[in-house]
Structure 1
Amino acid sequence: MVQLPDELALPEGFVPESPPDPPVTPKDAATVLLLRDGTAGPEVFLQRRVKGMPFAGGMTVFPGGGVDPRDADTSVAWNGPSPQWWARQLGCTEELARALVCAAVRETFEESGVLLAGADPGTVVSDTAAFADVRAALVSRELSLAGFLAGAGLVLRSDLLRPWSNWVTPEAEPRRYDTRFFVAALPEGQRADAATSEASDAYWRTPRAALDDWRQGRCGLLPPTWVTLTEIAECGSVAEALSTERVLTKVVPKLARRDGRWHVLMPGEPGHDGEGQ
């Protein structure tokens, strides 16, 4: 596991003065690292969340969000590794694996306009502009992913996703997520945008440039984002990132107060297995 730098601390107000007791049960969620090859190596799509958002407001993140119960709909037309395969990779039930993959596809489309689906198992949509109204209906929950794909005659392409990691929000926080991170290449012909109410800005950066932005105080990163960018920075191309074999284990950090700020303790660090947040 990548070691977090001492200067990486949570924003003020991120942790309540009185943590929930008992801790909140984490909500299942999916996050997707959209990648494309650039002149300086692979680039990742990042969004700066609106400051007023209840969770991670003002922070720079990857597209993603919580699982909708309808994401587990078995009627979704599916191509690629099966839900059974994904269940083994993600360490969960087949039903949850199906929901997580569908949530990854749905949230990526809602938040960036990138759609990991095609008219048949061998194709992927090259232009999603025609689905702008559908995108809004997905965001408002007027339409489910299964309903959208069926109506448009599209097949979900689970083969375009790869599992990357699994992070669980520390127990002291009032909003907790059990988040599976995926990686995917930007489909040819598609473009990622900032047309979402949840982000004030969106852009492409190499992982190293994004980490430099953080060091220079130009953006805020939560520990899972910082670690993931550091890991992706070791990949020389999108193909290398997609071919990297990953064994997922739940990373459940704890929090410690140092020098008046909340810091994250990673598994294996001194104090993680002792008393505290």
Structure 2
Amino acid sequence: MPSFTNRLFPLPPAQQAAAESWFERGEGTPRKPRAASSVLLLRDSREGAEVFLRYRRGESPLGKIAFPGGSLEETDGDQVPWFGPTPSEWAKALGMDDHQQAMRHVVAAIRELFEETGILLAGPDASTLLESNRGPEWMEAREGIASGEKSFPALLARRGLGLRTDLLRPLSHWKTADFALRRFDTYYFAAVQPLGQESSLLQGRGIWGKWCIAVHEFERRQTTALGDEVGQPDTVGLTLEQLTVPSVQLMLEKLAKAKGCIAYLAHRRPNTVHQPELVKDDDGAYLLRVSGNDAAEGAGQRGR
């Protein structure tokens, strides 16, 4: 298998100015990345594995089109009922020594998934899962948590629910390139859509989000079809590579090549930290080159 070292990715238009400034200054001191968690929400279909993608406003380091996710919050460290692997087991799975930080990443992953899609990986015991997430009370809870007016741990306690951490799978660990003005240190997870629960956008905040067939997005990745479908001024006319970050592209490719969700989740992945590197192309264009090996996600070179 080829190395990620020689794989080049177009630099998203929104990051061009930061890249130019980085080179003009002779590089510099990278900004400290914020800890984050992101989740690939999956389900099977007749045409292949599907994943939930959503549009992000602003200049998110996770890309214009990305998986549900976001920064860790202070309350992610609060004690919550917990089913599945222990925080120490999660720390080992994530390749970190800090059990408390591992717990925060897992809680953040489940919280962000609930905020952005309504899917809640929680139940009253270790073998039961919330059967339905429908109803205005659940949307109200999501809005309150997203705005910071309500607490996710308090919601779980009030409903008598514990986190089903056994329904999450660790995928990979990525850091935003050094030159970026906003950086994330992101752990990616995966979860399969539970029976009885439906995904939906957060009321008042969600602009676009849908289930996408991975193989279809991979096949049309060099077209502007997805960006045109989203229909926002900063997505129209852009390809998948211009709308997403390398981590999202590579995971979509791997998912497209997998024979269903079970096969994708069963793939063993080492604890490798991946971080794109900013380089200059021969014609002066700014491109991202992924450093490290290709053992975690993705395969093959593209383009150049």
Range moving further from structure 2, 159-168 or 137-146: 137-146
Hey, what's the Cα distance between the residues in 1 that align with 2:107 and 2:56? 22
Q: Is the 8 A contact 2:33 2:182 kept in 1?
A: yes
130, 135, 157: which one aligns with 1:125:
130
Question: Structure 2: which amino acid aligns with 1:61?
Answer: A
Between the aligned partners of 1:147 and 1:33, the Cα distance in structure 2 is 25
User: Structure 1 residues 198 and 132, CA, compared in 2 at 3 Å: closer, same or farther?
Assistant: closer
Q: Deviations over 1:39-66 (max 9, x none)?
A: 012111111223xx13159721100001
Higher-helix-fraction structure: 2
Letter in 2 for 1:163: P
- Greater Cα shift, 96-105 or 208-217: 208-217
Q: What is the match of residue 155 of structure 2?
A: 148
Counterpart of 2:21 in structure 1 is 18
Provide structure 2 residue ranges, at least 5 long, that are not aligned to the other structure.
Answer: 228-242, 294-304
The answer as to whether partners of 1:49 and 1:198 remain within 8 angstroms in 2 is no
2:191 pairs with one of 184, 193, 196: 184
Is the 1:2–1:227 Cα contact (8 Å) retained in structure 2? no
- Equivalent residue for 1:64, pick from 55, 65, 69: 69
CA shift at 1:208, angstroms?
1.6
The alpha carbon displacement at 1:103 in A equals 0.3
Aligned counterpart, 1:106 = 111
Give the match's secondary structure for 1:85.
Answer: helix
Give the structure 2 partner of residue 95 of structure 1. Answer: 100
Quote the residue 1:267 is aligned against: 291
Contact 2:122 2:164 in 1 (8 A): yes
Asked whether the 8 Å contact 1:78–1:157 carries over to 2, the reply is yes
What's the CA shift string for 1:167-197, capped at 9, x where partnerless?
A: 1001000101110010100000111112355
- The question of 1:80 aligning with 2:84 is answered yes
Q: TM-score, normalised by structure 1?
A: 0.89
Cα deviation, residue 5, structure 1: 5.9
5+ unaligned residues in a row in structure 1: which ranges?
A: 270-277
Q: Which runs of 4+ in 1 moved over 3 A?
A: 1-6, 196-199
CA deviation after TM superposition for structure 1 residue 69, in Å = 1.6
Cα distance in 2 for partners of 1:22, 1:56 equals: 17
| Aligned Cα root-mean-square deviation (Å) | 2.1
Question: 1:79 and 1:68, CA in 2 relative to 1: closer, same or farther beyond 3 A?
Answer: same
Query: How many pairs align?
Result: 265
- Give 3-state SS (helix, strand or coil) of 2:185's partner: strand
Q: Residues 60 and 212 from structure 1, CA distance in 2 versus in 1: closer, same or farther, beyond 3 angstroms? A: farther
